A and B are shown apart, each in its own frame.
Chain A
Amino acid sequence: MRDEFIRTLTTMAQADDSIVLITGDLGFGVLTEFAERFPKQFINAGVAEQNMTGIAAGMALEGYKVYTYSIANFVFMRCLEQIRNDAAYHDANVNVVSVGGGFSYGALGISHHATEDLAIMRSQPNVSVFCPSDLDETRWVTEVSAKTKGVSYLRLDKSKADDAAPLGPLAVGQARPRSSGRDITFVTAGGILQDVCIAADRLRSDGYDVGVISMPTIKPFDHSTIQKLAGECRAVITVEEHNVVGGLGSAVAESLMASPRRPEIFRSIGLQDQFSSVVGSQAYLRTHYGIDAQGIYEKTRQAVVKSPAIAA
């Protein structure tokens, strides 16, 4: 996703000299070409994320479309107040690019795990939150963020799902259904979609009618698609590589509770309000915390097996 982001941004920067990329001294080998081709549109702000974000706000208020870039939490958590007060409150076109969503940098330890970012960024007014699942969506969020008023948060994952059918026109805040099902619908975002797709296939083999929806925009949220599910599908299962508190699962729950109808079953699969304390790759950690394909499959089976209405 990171490489696709840079490829897309390079194309954008060539056509629009108001696109500026500021890195917090990260992106070794990835940003070199951009920096060389667009020296007036690239800044390495050093290891100083608060200043980087303040500068981004200042430049954005002068008409630039600024992308701040760093790993996982550094780019939004260290400088959250700058994002809130300086960029979002001022409706500045600052696009915060978090490289390494969830457990992308698994073995580096909890400092590098972005597992509360969706909750934190979703709570900020004037901030759009994007969480692409595949390369098509990555390209789309990169392009659309420049045109979106205020702050955009882009969570870029190391893992990715295979591209689905051609993306077609997609609006900010619009869900992207990959398939539909009357028994179970998975609602997910980010590279973990790949595990969700595997789990969905296994459940189909078990005889369930299963749908999968990707949510490249977490905020603004596509309430209408989610609320429609309540009447059409018996079990809604959210899956995220993120704390279950405040993230995608919470967004879906908020949406369903505001709906006149509810699904019979709702489950939120994700991290159970915990930090990772084991060492391992993204795939290893997903397995350890039960959010890999097998974990998703088992948790969903357990949820639906108890419901006589969804007997396969």
Chain B
Amino acid sequence: MDTRELAKRIRIHAVNMTSRGGSSHIGSALSMADILAVLYGQCLNVDPARPQWPARDRFILSKGHGGAAVYAALAETGFFSPEVLKTHYQDGGKLSGHVSHKGIPGVEFSTGSLGHGLPVGVGMAKAARLREQAHRVVVLLSDGECDEGSNWEAILFAAHHGLDNLIAIVDYNKIQSLAPVAETLGLEPFTDKWQSFGWDVKEVDGHDHDQMATMLDNPEPGKPRVVIAHTTKGKGVSFMENSVLWHYRTARGQEFEAAISELERSA
């Protein structure tokens, strides 16, 4: 499937899932839909027929609150039936609001509390290095999540150990839970911070599939990579874009109809 079509389907699923379940975080899911589409549709070396294939690339969603989008990406790429998506956030369902691996093929790791995914990914990357395995470890973080000190511990460690099989992607939509990042706990100069910690830094438009197509390729030897993906929170639904409100708000009624309609009409 074309990655743009995949991104569109991820967005439509995510709106359906969060609206049906009355859950939050649609803005975060829409923000990273293109990143996930490029990863699952093109970059990641994974096999839906063998979710535990030892040579697979490992993908960890550290911003676990965006789990709806990952579930959608996995369903659309054949890890499980899209029917399962209807159980998201439902009593007795399989798919919790924050991404969980239990009984869900393709989910590498459960998260939900921020600042956990990168250290675990570092451990996986270190293990692969020690065993001279060729797979890569990709961790997707939110920008607000970079407030967590545990990430900076991991950032120090990964550079010190030269883990060039590790790629962190930051979904940099510049809005966190209650307010813009710049008003909460500013991250800028963000790229400089990663560079000074010894990482290979790439900046991309997190909605430009061509720019992201090679984001995992050609690692700089001895350096972990971070891809700073500049994104728009709520991307794809005009009234959700760049709005703090849609971190928590659920689209219902006319808002839901309008969101789905706009996404279905999109290219």
Contacts and interface: CB of A to CB of B under 8 A. Distances in A.
B120 A50 contact: no
Interface string A50-66: 11011111111111100
B115 A85 contact: no
Contacts of B110: 85, 89-90
A94 to B, nearest CB: 10
Contact of B154 (A54, A56, A61): A54
Nearest to A40: B130
B115 A50 contact: yes
A115 B264 CA distance: 59
A108 to B, nearest CB: 24
Given A81-B113, A90-B109, A48 B123 contact: no
21 contacts: A40-B130, A46-B156, A48-B150, A50-B115, A50-B119, A50-B149, A51-B153, A54-B119, A54-B120, A55-B120, A55-B157, A60-B123, A61-B109, A62-B127, A63-B127, A64-B127, A81-B113, A82-B119, A85-B110, A90-B101, A90-B110
Interface in A79-135: 81-82, 85-86, 89-90
Contacts of A57: 119-120, 123
Given A45-B157, A46-B156, A55-B157, A85 B112 contact: yes
Contacts of B111: 85
B150 A58 contact: no
Given A50-B149, A51-B150, A90-B110, A58 B120 contact: yes
A153 B123 CA distance: 20
A54, A57, A62: which has the most chain B beta carbons within 10 Å? A54
Interface residues of B, number: 27
Interface string B145-189: 000011001101100000000000000000000000000000000
Given A43-B126, A55-B126, A58-B124, A50 B153 contact: yes
Contacts of A89: 110
Given A45-B157, A62-B127, A55 B122 contact: yes
Interface in A11-54: 40, 43, 45-46, 48, 50-51, 53-54
Interface of A: 40, 43, 45-46, 48, 50-51, 53-64, 81-82, 85-86, 89-90
A51, A62, A90: which has the most chain B beta carbons within 10 Å? A51
Interface in B88-146: 101, 109-113, 115-116, 118-128, 130-131
Main secondary structure of the interface of A (DSSP, over half): helix
A59 to B, nearest CB: 4
B126 A48 contact: no
B116 A82 contact: yes
Given A61-B109, A62-B128, A85-B116, A54 B123 contact: yes
A55 B118 CA distance: 9
Contact of B157 (A51, A60, A82): A51
A64 B121 CA distance: 14
A46 B112 CA distance: 25
Given A61-B120, A82-B150, 8 more contacts: A45-B157, A48-B157, A50-B115, A51-B153, A58-B121, A59-B126, A61-B109, A82-B119
Contacts of B150: 48, 50-51, 54, 82
A48 B65 CA distance: 25
Contacts of B131: 62
B118, B119, B121, B130: which has the most chain A beta carbons within 10 Å? B119
Contact of B116 (A43, A54, A56, A61): A54
Nearest to B115: A50
B127 A48 contact: no
A59 B125 CA distance: 8
B157 A59 contact: no
A54 B112 contact: no
A62 B131 CA distance: 10
Contacts of A48: 150, 153, 156-157
B127 A58 contact: yes
Q: Which 8 A-B pairs have the closest CB atoms?
A: A58-B123, A54-B119, A51-B153, A55-B123, A48-B153, A62-B127, A50-B150, A58-B120
Nearest to B157: A51
Contacts of A59: 123-124, 126-127
Contact of A54 (B122, B127, B149, B156): B122
Nearest to A48: B153
